[in-house]
Structures are given as structure tokens and as C-alpha cells.
Amino acid sequence: MNFEGVLVQVFQPYFYYSIIVLAISFVCIKIIVKCCPFMGSKTKSLIYLIPIAAPLFVMFSFPPKILIQAVSYHLIGSFSIPIPQGPAFFSPFQLPHPPLTQTMVTLVALSTNQILSITGIICLTGLALGGIYAVTTIVVGDWIASRLLRVINLDSNEYNWLQTEISKISKKLSISTPQVALVEDLRPNAFTMGHGRKTKLVFTVGLLNILDKEEILAVASHELAHVKNHDFFFKTLSNALTAVSFFNPLAYFALFNSQREREMLADENGAKLLKKPDSLANALTKITKALQNLPGEGRLIRITSNLLVTSPIIHRPQILSGHPKINLRLKNINQLTAIKPKGLRYSKLIVAIFLTCVIIVAGVATTYALVNLQTGYVAPKMVLSGAAYVKGVGTDSIGTHIISISPNPTFNSMLGQIYNLPNPNPQLISPSDPASRNEVPNFNQNQPEYVTPQVSLVNPGTNPSDKIAVVYALTNGNGTTLIIKY
């Protein structure tokens, strides 16, 4: 595949628009979050979804195509022709130069055909991935996670005190009491899985071994807060949206930022349910210390957490993690007991409305600019990217050069029978009527550098119409490029 072919494939509007939109919105939201330290974890987790969701809206505006019109240019040959001296027009991009007495004519064949677009396939794969992922996770995610992690449901008489307390907290939160279950892992952790009545609250054996009752309850409260906050659906939605932009690394950053805020929110809500909010901080500290002394992290827990939307209480800290660092979590829990300044709500509301307006205006403006960029600049370049070679086109005072070429048929495996010019003797013809020019689609007629002469190959003794449909010429200071469309 030639270079233009690759460009045409890569530069599908959706592909680069989605990357730009995601990057701009992610950076904006990062700045906004940094500027508004009083913003709650819930708000933060929701606004981090904007960059992840933005590519989906771009997709509706510029639907990616799997099959696209590709334009190929094939160099056939080149020859010199004499041109008369006289005044010349030049494009704004080219400095004037003395009139030429001789110019180089390059003969280029142009062919268009439908080809598979790599980026189109990638983009639509993302959409399919997101859709399949969301449906699979909601329908069978908990079943797969249960099988993989080998979750063992507890009987009603096992850990009776814990089940009773969990039932009490669930009633307080107005959620259905989840099934309590165990996994055999000695690493301390706990997570929720599934949704609705199929929700399970799973503890590892390691967690039950190292924590006291208060701390186990604190962990349970954190997990029940996840259930109350509908984090199963939140994570499924955000993961599915990220899958749409799976080729964009920034999507994962936005996703993990959003999920970290969700963990903070579960910490806050979980700690509020406890008589002693400190016990959650103690539990987190104990778990972190215990994990430091145990080899490796449960890879399966990490995979199921990220893909099958289980919500573990803790992860070993990593750059790309859906869990915030332990010191940030402890600080956040400790701040719950601190007295918050009054009168913040109004300012918070005003700032939120202002920022929302800014984001909407910026989003509309960006989209408008991108649409103009697409229709006015990128689309013509995509269709006829070869024209980019011509830095500017000048014509002489009498109009466009039309060249008749002496026949000398040769055979080209790619183009079939063509008329090459090993020893050309071209004749210069000028059209008397500019209106008879055969305009080529997608060329901006208002720009004088693009000129489109009539079909002009003359081949005595042969029938060129079978093989050559349209010819147009692009002339610049370095010569004329003749483009033959098959």
C-alpha cells in the first residue's frame, strides 16, 4: 500500500476527532478538578465520564466506515514541453518567478476503488466491543466471576453475626441484602459482585483471619456503599465507553480517575454508616500491611475487578489502577469528621453551573470547528490527497495547457494498455472556452491554483476511451502533472 493509501485509511474523521475530543476534554476536566478541591467524589467520578463518552458522540457525528473510497496515484512517465513566455498567475503559496520556457509534464494515473479501512474496522470494533462487553457483564458477569474466583456461598448459620449486621446495614441503605460468600485466598480482600438480587458480598479467608469484627464490618459497609451507589452499572458503563476508545490510552486514564473517585465515595459513604469511622481506616491499614508481606497480588482478582466489575476493597497501588493510594484514602476518611466551612454550597453550585456551561460551549465550538475542518479541508484532501503534492498552480495568460500526446502503446501490468511517451513530441493547445473545462469534483473552483482541463489525450489509430476516462492537469512552477482517471 502506498503512502497516500495509508493516510486515507488512518485519517478517517472519527478516528482523529475522537482522539482530539477525548484529549481536550480530559485535560479540561483535570484542570477543573484541580481548581475545585471542594468538589465531591461523586461529582468528580461523573465528570470524568465526559471524556470517555465524548468519542461516542463524535461517532454519531462522523460515523466510521469500513469500506472507503481510496484514491491511488501511479506514476506513468514524465516529459518536457515548451510553453510560451507571458504573464503568469501564481497561488498565494508560491513566490512569483520568471515565465517558463519549458516545463516538466508528469503523467500520473488515478484510480479509485473501495477498500477496507483499518481505522474504520478499529472504530467499529470498539463499538462492538463496548456493546458486547456491557451485555455480557450484566447478564453473565457475576456467574463468570464466581466460577473463576471459586466463590463459596456461606450458609445462613456461618458467620451469623456478620450476616445479621450486613442485613441490618442493607435495610438501613434500602438495598436487598446480598449473599455473603468466601473465597479461599489468604490475601486479605473483599469485593462485591453482580447486581440486584444476585449481588454477592465476598470476603477472602485472609481478610476474616486478620481483621477484628469492627473492621470486618467496616469493610462490609464500604462494599455495601458500592451496592448503594450502583457501582456495578457505573463500572460497566464506564468500561463499555472505554472499550469504544480502546485504541486511545487517555481513555484508560480517564476511566481509572473516575473509578478512583468511586472508591473514595464508597469509603466516605461506608464510613458514615459506622459507629466508629476509624475502623475503616484501621482495616485499610491492616490490609495494606498484610498485602505488603504476601507475595504478589491475586491476578485473578485484578482481572475480575477490571473486567467483570467486582469491586475489591483494595488493590496493590499501581499507576493504572482503579483504586486510589492508601494515604489518600485514609486522608479522605479522616476528613469526614472535620467540620466543613459553611456557605460553600452556593459557590459550589455557581461554579458547577459555570463550568458546565464552559464545557458545553467549548464542546459545541470544538465540534463546529471540527465539522468545518472536515468538510472544508480534510475531505477534499482525503479524496484527492495526491493534490497535496502540488504546492501551487500557475497558468499562463491564455488558460490551461492541454497536451496531446503521440501514441506509443506499451503494457503496464497495473494499468493495462497505456500510452507512454518515450520520445514525446507534445503539442500545446489552449481552450478557447473556459466553460468547457471539465471540472473535477471536490476541487475548490474559487481557488485559482486548481485547474481542470478537458479530456485531451489524442491517440491516432487507437481508441483511448476504452481505457482513459478523464484527464485533468495541475500546473505549477515546477511543471504540470497530468492525472488520468481509470
Which residues of the shown chain bind another protein in the complex (CB under 8 A)?
148-150, 152, 154-155, 157-159, 182-187, 204-206, 294-296, 298-301
Q: CA 145, CA 428: separation in Å to the nearest integer?
A: 77
Query: Measured from the CB of residue 305, what is the shortest distance to another protein in angstroms?
Result: 13
Query: Measured from the CB of residue 367, what is the shortest distance to another protein in angstroms?
Result: 47
Element housing 334 (H / E): helix 326-335
Q: Are strands 479-485 and 470-476 parallel, antiparallel or unpaired?
A: antiparallel
Query: Measured from the CB of residue 149, what is the shortest distance to another protein in angstroms?
Result: 6
Our CB check for another protein shows the closer of 30 and 286 to be 286
Our CB check for another protein shows the closer of 175 and 294 to be 294
Query: Measured from the CB of residue 311, what is the shortest distance to another protein in angstroms?
Result: 17
Our CB check for another protein shows the closer of 257 and 310 to be 310
189 in Cβ contact with 314 (< 8 Å): yes
Query: Measured from the CB of residue 290, what is the shortest distance to another protein in angstroms?
Result: 11
Our CB check for another protein shows the closer of 204 and 239 to be 204
Query: Measured from the CB of residue 161, what is the shortest distance to another protein in angstroms?
Result: 13
- Cβ of 409: how many Cβ atoms within 10 Å? 13
Our CB check for another protein shows the closer of 149 and 402 to be 149
End-to-end CA distance of the chain: 18
134 in Cβ contact with 236 (< 8 Å): yes
Q: CA 63, CA 428: separation in Å to the nearest integer?
A: 46
471 in Cβ contact with 482 (< 8 Å): yes
Query: Measured from the CB of residue 129, what is the shortest distance to another protein in angstroms?
Result: 25
The dihedral formed by the CA atoms of 461, 486, 484 and 9, expressed in degrees to the nearest 10 = -160
Our CB check for another protein shows the closer of 278 and 297 to be 297
In three-state secondary structure terms, 68 is strand
Our CB check for another protein shows the closer of 13 and 298 to be 298
Our CB check for another protein shows the closer of 148 and 351 to be 148
Alpha carbon separation from 257 to 38, 308, 319, 429, 486 (Å, rounded): 17, 18, 10, 67, 53
Q: CA 203, CA 292: separation in Å to the nearest integer?
A: 19
Q: What angle do CA 456, 460, 463 make, to 5 degrees?
A: 75
Alpha carbon separation from 158 to 99, 147, 154, 181 (Å, rounded): 97, 21, 6, 10
Number of residues that make up the chain: 486
Q: How many CA atoms lie within 13 A of 301 on its CB side?
A: 25
- Across-strand partners of 411? 417
Query: Measured from the CB of residue 157, what is the shortest distance to another protein in angstroms?
Result: 7
Our CB check for another protein shows the closer of 36 and 186 to be 186
- Cβ of 431: how many Cβ atoms within 10 Å? 16
Query: Measured from the CB of residue 292, what is the shortest distance to another protein in angstroms?
Result: 14
Q: CA 437, CA 375: separation in Å to the nearest integer?
A: 24
Query: Measured from the CB of residue 148, what is the shortest distance to another protein in angstroms?
Result: 8
Our CB check for another protein shows the closer of 37 and 295 to be 295
